[in-house]
Structure 1
């Protein structure tokens, strides 16, 4: 999030600290001057947010095949210039950010309720998307990391704060630029340039550069003082509300209640900071600053933590030892997979902290026709926990391993953790090292046995399915076993959309209209896509018994296509029409419906 208001200040009032740049020209000049290919560090979630929402509708539930092409074009645009891309993605939320995480989830829920109310009142879906806060569709993060891997780009998933790890990497590796959208990047040391993802134009390869040195010069402070200015303006560590009284004192009078002019304020804060020493000596002044700013010397630790969060020269340990050599080796395996961008972020949090976070989706808990997605998926998660934690020694007073879940299932669901038991596997479990590293076919049989047990389906039935449709087939079967109440035509809609997707090009899909027949279609799509995500996690935890090209959701998830099939199925269209009158699609449809019947 960074410093609220700083981005706007940079773009409007910063006296040359923000300016347009030609990326092609900068890369070309760098290569000529150094004889090297420049390293450009990408904030993966920022790229995902801005590229997806600039190019594609998010309300439909995920245009992932089209998104694949968007990301591919993005990567090729940089690679063709001779740049090396290194992408970073967020890990699981930090426990220290719990309150902020909950606040954002509840704000998102309120926005979703307003969105559904607008749609129910007949609002145009495209206008609703424009008016409401963007949401990233399920499984899009999995797609973007997959494409980066395919094109040989280094992918990292962070353990600590993502912006700090990006900046530290950029500083250590002399990177040309960071491409992101978080004002904290102009506070950190880091790359030579900080390029704005929000203003990035893929067609012209231009954007805005936020200049740290020129910002400091415009405020008449040394760059080393920027972290203290950020702390006193309010950032991710020091709450904005906590520094408001101090700002009011600095400004002395306000034009209206609770309004602080950012330009004047940051200049006054800089005036205050300018008299203080630079470097380590500043830490000796923190008690005095806390007393003057907060009227509370006990807040010294908060200022210390904030300054430390910007210090890229200190090492923060992220490796935890339990004293059990075997389990510690498993923890290291999970850590290495996590850091190198393989598998979902939640796995690291589950094995290290035994905690799972579940965010807000396009669900309306005011209506009880569908269960909360996180609730219906809990049993599947319990099996996943059992596989992940199988080798961890139990405490003397434990029968099962426990995992703390903080998941959105309604307005009051985030008030406290829910403790759930891991369900240990009853079939052979050779250990995560073997599951994740061994390529032997006999291990694949064990992997499928673990998958089958988790979804209560015989592996012999799974083997009959087309490989690229195993995920949606297992998802549908699981949901029906859990008692999801849906009409047959709704099952027909999701199945047919998954089946016909493979033969449709991104251009075909782009031409489809966005038509939302009712809010249930969106809410149902949320349950389906979140179940796909959980099945993907299950397959990854079991060591990917399928090539990931068959697992990734571009094979079967397309929001606009599903909504069109949903409308057709609701209107009584035949299976033949839903399958685009293609014999191979109809045969696959019958195969999967037979599988679901046999598995029930």
Structure 2
């Protein structure tokens, strides 16, 4: 993220370059100086740098408080628009291969933080505080959609994001760049404004003045790129130029023999600045990117030149970047598809398809996954089958009645057991359709009711849920998407229990009736590490729904697939605790008869789909869901705590509160008949599977202990030898190639 040590140097050793500014006043002055009075002063926002500041919700570990996050974004945007400032947002759309090493390094560092998060949850049953924070999974994926829904202009980059931001700001005469990356000090572009120092109430922040910085360190603006590369950045690693900095530091100390004050890193910046200043002097040297007097090996000189060029905008030198974007698989798709892919990607309207068709590579950052949990599969493996179908829909085509197969897609997915030394090579697997797989041009550009049906069937086929296309129009789009996703998870994850399914579906149904304020009032007596991972798994699945929808020609509106319509982390966690603690359906659905009816309908459809594929959901209450009250000891999750967790009303009470046994409610036979009628069911009967309470007797400390644990289920053949996880088999068909 930027130039090594430069941010610390500017903040601590160069106060004259840190100028406090009022953005309202800055916008007024900018408007007075510009000749174009048709548009408001424009601030370019580095979206990736702002995510941590935007997500200020109390709960982050449960999967994201998405509706509260939407309100926070809306308030943040309105603070600027009310001041007459137009915002333009940029988000990273690709990871350039020259920065892959740095990307991997950061992902490994975050892995360590994720591991600490889960250890804290399992030790204390609560979210860690202090500096231990990990962004909710999928935040970078869904935030551009959120901002677009708020009417904002959003771009997803096809090159290095910092470069595109600086270029756009320079070309459009923007009032500034809001971010937290010292690369914006190096680019000769708009003023660099700090989001870390932004006070949204007063719209004040710190402007890092590159002219004042240059005067302080004795360089010109054109010499800053070389300084950045010698100090180390994402292109030129810090280690690569260590010998140059050592020599510079030795020379600097000879010229400044008195004891030096300030941080060692600050001294290093001054030493390298002195070296850079000394390199130029002769006219022929000034015309070079890298002065010949800098003694370098040919590989180091070539790398340094590449790093310096990365900071030069098209208007600033004769050298021009190659802005043509040949597709990695252009022979498999039409020019019209390539054009549409790029346009949708740049406008932040699509997901995944550009990276597949034009880059041949897909990556996914860290997720909240417990590397010590051997039961739940990582999301990268759970959704691999789905991605293979997406790749097939995008790239496979027929020629003379034979399928022409493209090369494998390179996947950089972060998950436990993957050392990230090389990409996973994943081959497309054709979707199962009643007809030949349609061409992408037909799916994307075709018209008519038959094509609309084909898009819908193609979408659900990606998740092996073809029959759900019949529910289109009869069930809300967001709930239909949730049903598809939960069914897919149930088919792919053998460890998923009926309690887990109930938690997923009940929260999706209840979410529609809850305000952000009600969601914030939900009380969680304890956190379950398993529920945390299941919440993250669901949100990552929503991004795959977006990718499948884009590949299928968008049969569903993108808005229906976004998390604030079908998921809230705190609500899901409360439903998980209730479901695994034995709460009845009426309690799980907040005693709302319409919600209960809809929930039972969705669960029936899911159960039928699983049964057709020989997947039988088992009741498997989790001991982890039983919580210890800090003052009263262990609680079963019944009573008033159910009401507090859901923020709803309790009606009638459960069998535990009435002092009844499950047999007192009419016996298993009556419960089974109620199940078959789709009526209200007791928690002792799930999906036709008898749950025997004696299998989980209460321990002396009030916990649950399994004396007859369910047998471990096979996860199929090993995914790859380097990891410790195995891929769950698809229930409907044998594993395809590349599995």
TM-score (norm 2): 0.75
Secondary structure of 2:425's aligned partner? strand
CA–CA distance in structure 1, aligned partners of residues 299 and 154 of structure 2: 40
- CA drift of 1:39 comes to 1.4
Q: Is 1:453 the counterpart of 2:461 in the alignment?
A: yes
CA–CA distance in structure 1, aligned partners of residues 382 and 598 of structure 2: 27
- CA drift of 1:392 comes to 8.8
CA–CA distance in structure 2, aligned partners of residues 171 and 285 of structure 1: 21
- 1:513-592 matches, within 5 Å, as 513=523, 516-592=526-602
User: 1:419: which partner in 2?
Assistant: 425
Structure 1 residues 24 and 107: CA distance shift in structure 2, 3 A: same
Asked if the contact 2:44/2:176 (under 8 Å) is kept, the reply is yes
- State the superposition RMSD in angstroms: 2.7
Asked if the contact 1:351/1:389 (under 8 Å) is kept, the reply is yes
User: 2:341: which partner in 1?
Assistant: 334
TM-score (norm 1): 0.91
Q: Is 1:286 the counterpart of 2:287 in the alignment?
A: no
Cα deviation digits, residues 574-598 of structure 1 (max 9, x gap): 1111111111211111111011022
Asked if the contact 1:28/1:81 (under 8 Å) is kept, the reply is no
Secondary structure of 2:200's aligned partner? coil
Asked if the contact 1:68/1:143 (under 8 Å) is kept, the reply is no
User: 1:100: which partner in 2?
Assistant: 102
Q: Is 1:479 the counterpart of 2:481 in the alignment?
A: no
Deviant stretches of 4+, over 6 Å: none
User: 2:413: which partner in 1?
Assistant: 407
User: 1:320: which partner in 2?
Assistant: 326
Secondary structure of 1:189's aligned partner? coil
Structure 1 residues 351 and 231: CA distance shift in structure 2, 3 A: same
CA–CA distance in structure 2, aligned partners of residues 519 and 289 of structure 1: 58
- 1:71-220 matches, within 5 Å, as 71-122=73-124, 124-127=126-129, 130-132=130-132, 134-191=133-190, 193-220=191-218
CA–CA distance in structure 2, aligned partners of residues 143 and 451 of structure 1: 20
CA–CA distance in structure 1, aligned partners of residues 82 and 411 of structure 2: 44
Asked if the contact 1:288/1:297 (under 8 Å) is kept, the reply is no
Q: Is 1:268 the counterpart of 2:271 in the alignment?
A: yes
User: 1:244: which partner in 2?
Assistant: 242
- CA drift of 1:246 comes to 2.9
Asked if the contact 2:88/2:154 (under 8 Å) is kept, the reply is yes
Structure 1 residues 282 and 309: CA distance shift in structure 2, 3 A: farther
Asked if the contact 1:287/1:300 (under 8 Å) is kept, the reply is no
Structure 1 residues 460 and 417: CA distance shift in structure 2, 3 A: closer
CA–CA distance in structure 2, aligned partners of residues 448 and 580 of structure 1: 33
Asked if the contact 1:428/1:446 (under 8 Å) is kept, the reply is no
- CA drift of 1:285 comes to 6.8
User: 1:375: which partner in 2?
Assistant: 381
Question: What 5-or-longer segments of structure 2 have no aligned partner?
Answer: 315-319, 611-739
- Of the two structures, which has the highest relative contact order with CA contacts closer than 8 Å and spacing of 6 or more? 1
Structure 1 residues 438 and 260: CA distance shift in structure 2, 3 A: farther
- CA drift of 1:119 comes to 2.1
Cα deviation digits, residues 126-148 of structure 1 (max 9, x gap): 41xx332x333233334322232
Matched residue count: 587
Deviates more, 1:16-25 or 1:410-419: 410-419
Structure 1 residues 131 and 533: CA distance shift in structure 2, 3 A: same
User: 2:317: which partner in 1?
Assistant: none
User: 2:312: which partner in 1?
Assistant: 311
CA–CA distance in structure 1, aligned partners of residues 538 and 284 of structure 2: 53
Secondary structure of 2:239's aligned partner? helix
Deviates more, 1:158-167 or 1:317-326: 317-326
Asked if the contact 2:332/2:406 (under 8 Å) is kept, the reply is no
Structure 1 residues 21 and 524: CA distance shift in structure 2, 3 A: same
Structure 1 residues 367 and 55: CA distance shift in structure 2, 3 A: closer
| Larger Rg over CA atoms | 2
Structure 1 residues 6 and 573: CA distance shift in structure 2, 3 A: same
CA–CA distance in structure 2, aligned partners of residues 297 and 402 of structure 1: 34
User: 2:60: which partner in 1?
Assistant: 58
Asked if the contact 2:353/2:550 (under 8 Å) is kept, the reply is no
